[in-house]
Structure 1
């Protein structure tokens, strides 16, 4: 099995030096356990314990204080979401002695969405998310496209021609490490088992839902509407479910990192904007499985899934970038839309349009120009990312950009 270097490792090493509790969360099979065991192998962390094993699970459940005190050095506690009650004991332990890098927690659920955990480790914990592999990691590239575009003098080297067949194959396969070396015909079985495990185990672990029969249909419908405005009432009606039930299901699916929301941008532009979020999946391989698509991507969902792919590639890179922009989309009530906005803390932003086409037209830049006129000097740059091969300057600080620029540049 090929070993992939995870770019977020440097961030974790930095956190070990000054933070008592580090949480590495993310979807099941995204590579958390392998990465953390590698850090133990490199002597960066002393010990690895998984609460999937019955003995540590039993001891930690019954005597959490004694369990935590038994570790003299730094320790990884994997599958931490299985014992949410232990966080109170971790807080007490850390408050007695704030040893940097003492507890490294990992889990396949967003623990801060669990009851009573929101404030227990505030100020004591640094949180990192490990997503499925980015194209940069798959292609063994370093640096960050995000840092690159926010630099003052962004330069672009010549790029290899875009292989649309390779891009479609990457979208179809997704980013989970376990599927990177599997033949395409084996992916259906792998993703079937993966989704079933999420439904039957992970969601069961964090909820009291006994009936899971609604979830396959919910996931299929959500996959068909990825990157569209999320309307809970309409989704509930389509599935013949109460809105409160659908709201709960969405919360659970977000907690296990299958889906998430992209929020609308609204800073000082206009009040006449859409307030609904967009739903997206954290892995395009899961979408392809749920919609029973082929790797040729000759299907009506092509534009949506390509947009999901590009946005996730950028979100993955933000997880290890030096700049940490917040991500939004923009849509006004007249239908003008910008697919992705990256906003720095002071309000400066970069806007990105995403087109699943091999060429760009002048009208593809209209929404970028509209947003630029509204936000003024806070607009740093704008890009139309597409399936073609050329970088074209369209206007001042507005360019077309081939999709492989996200990972083919020799970023520092």
Structure 2
């Protein structure tokens, strides 16, 4: 991978922040966008701007071709069987809520179980809390091991014949844990449950094959994988989606409307009510082209080397606590002794280094870690070992400054 050439394609990286060259280490929150994605969105608005599907004029035809072409790119990217299984949403949150509202509430009853883990993002906790309250189902958690992983024996013990839905993150946005999705799918299916995977941190960094994983649903966001904000995907197995009712109603998703009843379009459009996120989908298609040109296996390998290097270098700092397992995705969550993570992030920003600080939308996990907040450095295909060195030097300066202050 020619990281220098890749970096040249990201205009935002070529700037100074607080008098220092920008080091962007917050891609788990949102990734930066390459020139090809920016131009794809710009071209749509400059030359093709029109609503899709209904119009027969030239602009409408061009917009529809690009929008549905992006759906086919997503299908190939995740190896779905059909574009009917690819639903465009506003992001991972909307995708999970679609399943929680359209599938869970229609199929759960008192005595049924929903199983998730304590490492989940709030977007994969709260929809299941609400579904459980609405249906009388029970929400259960697979316990975490001391290093922030889950064991398959605990999964087998927690998932029972009463379990109807299992929801689990592919990659933890705090710990970097990569969960054994294929094995959990097998356990879920043996017990008659369906599996939803929160792929917000998986799809940008790993080669995804939903058929090999055998998940029933896979949700992810475009903005974490070089695409615009406001676009995401819900993959679902066709047989399940066919049985689900939409939960968002209006234009675009209908077939016939009568005074007292209506019928829905076929998949995937019955779940895409209202004017679609056209520019976002086109941008997502361009982002997938960009990632495919580099190769997801190459991206994964590059990020693994960066994560290993970051762990090694950061452990040379006295008084640092690093959270999560040894084998991890491309992020390091940490705290400096006696320095609040918000202060750490502010001090690093003064050096032009962008990291995230807070609870990372994972308050149950923070309580499990026995901290109120953490700092997180997350890496992507445009980061380098020099970025890691800048981070380490920035952390040493932060320690020195707060040591002098206190």
State the TM-score bracket (shorter-chain normalisation).
under 0.3
**Structure-2-length-normalised TM-score:** 0.27
Higher relative contact order, chain-length normalized (CA < 8 Å, sep 6+): 2
